[in-house]
Amino acid sequence: MTIREVSEYLKLAEKTAYRLAAEGKIPGFKVGASWRFRKSEIDRWITAQERGEA
């Protein structure tokens, strides 16, 4: 997923998604200058957030 796709999926502003990714608060990785996200990792992160496993 791109930063735009993950921000839409999480209902966040793109700027917020960039910040969270850069701070390591959401699971993602950089390919060159672009952030990429695996949907399965984002779903796992959401589940952890729901359980309070921040």
pTM of the model: 0.86
Q: Which residue has the tokens 């999926």?
A: 9
Tokens representing 34 are 């672009």
pLDDT band at 53 (very low <50, low <70, confident <90, very high): confident
Q: Check residue 5 and give its pLDDT.
A: 98
Q: What is the pLDDT of residues 18-47, one digit of tens each?
A: 999 999 999 999 999 999 999 999 999 999
pLDDT reported for residue 32: 95
CA distance 8 to 1: 10
Higher pLDDT, 53 or 5: 5
Encoded amino acid at 13, one letter: A
> 21: exposed, middle or buried (C-beta count within 10 Å: 0-12, 13-18, 19+)?
buried
